[in-house]
Amino acid sequence: MLSRRHFLLGALALGLSAGCRGGRDRILNFYNWSNYIALNTIGDFEKESGIRVNYEEFSSADVSFAKLKIGVTGYDLIVAPGYMVRRMMRHDLLYPLGPELSLPEFLPHIEAPPFDPEQKYSAPYLWGTTGIGYNARKIRNAPASWSLLWEQSLAKRITILDEKRDAIGVALFKLGLDPNSVDPGELQLAKKELLKQRPLVRRYTSDFTDDLIRGETWAALGWSGDVAQAQDSNPDIRYILPEEGSFLFVDSLVVPRSAPHPEAALEFINYFFRPEVCRDITNATGYANPVAASKPLVRPELIDNNLGYPPDEVLSNLHYQEDVGEYESVWDDLWAEVKR
């Protein structure tokens, strides 16, 4: 099973070269996390709009940002996490979406995200949480705490996301600190926690679902929708949102300033906002969508469920990942030292 963040090799050369040749064809070059769309979405959009979609997938938000930062052009539409949207705005890499969009009514906690409260440069796509997926057959009476990922009895049965913002953030949560901290002393404490954890880790990977399904991993730092997909294949899988707090993420649709076909990107965003279109994507991926009118249409087992649409009392204990600005390199170095 592919995870939300598994790289599809070879698509860049095929997709962008086709998309940049010009001609009368209407084209959209779309760059997204993997397994993060319904099987029918692209085909239905192409059929209705007459726009040909070159669809590429990536494994890391840092990879997509780096491509834009060094001047790789050709992308029309990119899915980016909130903190990355803020970084892209800071580097003036995004096209303002403007009045061409027909914004629907969003769920209350999605209406004004802190990374782009006026939603001038980003349109919400899918959202979810970071927590612990675990095998209830292997782990009895699992605590609702991040301490589970430091449990000595689980040595070499733990996987940790290969995403510094999630992994370091979890260590900060466990310590009762700000999960977006840029305080050098607090980051050193987080590093010590992660170094304690390192001997227990089977592997650092964003593709954790197969390991969890097969029982090779008993506890995984993971994203809600991916854990929901694992649960579909293995009913012993459960999901914890720890009591110390956790992350709420909103992945957004953004249009690079260098986009050759921004009008096609805006047309897709308006198409996505239809309740039945985003319903299909939620039902396929397990990740909630932001459109209020779509919520009653999705699979009922996702409602008031931490794997889909958590109840309000759970949402109140969740935090957005923030742009750490000039401290990004500090976080990079810390994560590299942990994995060394």
Nearest-angstrom CA–CA distance, 340 and 331: 14
Q: What is the pLDDT of residue 14?
A: 36
Q: Do 214 and 332 fall into the same domain?
A: yes
> For residue 2, is it within any domain?
no
Q: Structurally, how many domains does the chain consist of?
A: 2
212-260 tens-digit pLDDT: 999 999 999 999 999 998 999 999 999 999 999 999 999 999 999 999 9
Q: Does some domain include residue 6?
A: no
**Does the residue 8 lie in any domain?**
no
Complete DSSP assignment for 64-80: HHHHHHTT----SEEEE
Rounded to whole angstroms, the Cα distance separating 6 from 232 reads 19
User: So what's the pLDDT on residue 213?
Assistant: 96
Whether residue 207 is predicted with pLDDT greater than 90 in this model: the reply is: no
Q: What is the pLDDT of residue 9?
A: 31
Residues 199 and 331 in one domain: yes
Tens-place pLDDT, residues 91-116: 899 999 988 788 899 999 998 899 99
Q: Residue 6: pLDDT above 90?
A: no
pTM recorded for the entire structure: 0.85
Averaged pLDDT, 71-97: 90
**Domain around 275:** 13-127+249-311
Instruction: Quote the mean pLDDT of the chain.
Output: 90
Residue 4 belongs to a domain? no
Q: Are residues 218 and 335 in the same domain?
A: yes
Average pLDDT on 264-272 reads 97
Q: What is the pLDDT of residue 12?
A: 36
Question: Over 60: is that where the pLDDT of 5 sits?
Answer: no
| Token code pair at residue 55 | 């669809």
pLDDT (0 to 100) of residue 79? 95
Give domain status of residue 33, yes or no. Answer: yes
Residues 188 and 211: beta-carbon distance below 8 Å: no
User: Both 142 and 234 in a single domain?
Assistant: yes
d(CA 72, CA 69): 8
291-327 tens-digit pLDDT: 999 999 999 999 999 999 999 999 999 999 988 989 9
Maximum separation of any 2 CA atoms in the chain, in Å: 62
Residue 11 has pLDDT above 50, yes or no: no
Q: Do 215 and 305 share a domain, yes or no?
A: no
For residue 328, being part of any structural domain is answered with: yes
- pLDDT for the residue 62: 74
Instruction: Return all residues near 81 (Cβ < 8 A) that are at least 6 apart.
Output: 61, 165, 249, 250, 251, 252, 321
Does residue 101 sit in the same domain as residue 150?
no
Instruction: Say if 227 falls within a structural domain.
Output: yes
Instruction: Give dist(CA 310, CA 297) in Å, integer.
Output: 16
Identify the weakest region by mean pLDDT among 93-102, 161-170, 184-193, 276-285.
93-102
**pLDDT value at residue 15:** 41
Digit-coded pLDDT (tens) for 56-67: 988 777 777 777
**What's the average model confidence in pLDDT over 280-301?**
96
Q: Is the pLDDT of residue 17 over 80?
A: no
Predicted confidence at residue 24, as pLDDT, reads 56
Domain co-membership, 196 together with 72? no
CA 290 to chain centre: 14
In a domain, 7, yes or no: no
Residues 258 and 113 in one domain: yes
CATH number of the domain to which 227 belongs: 3.40.190.10
Split at pLDDT 50, 70, 90, the class of 53 is very high
Q: Do 147 and 269 share a domain, yes or no?
A: no
How many CB atoms within 10 Å of residue 188? 11
Q: Tell me, what's the pLDDT at 323? A: 85
Nearest Cα residue to 194 out of 223, 224, 169: 169
Looking at the structure, tell me whether residues 134 and 239 fall in a common domain.
yes
Share of the chain above pLDDT 90, in %: 79
Question: Of the given ranges (66-70, 139-143, 163-167), which has the lowest mean pLDDT?
Answer: 66-70
Same-domain check for residues 135 and 91:
no
Q: Are residues 98 and 136 in the same domain?
A: no
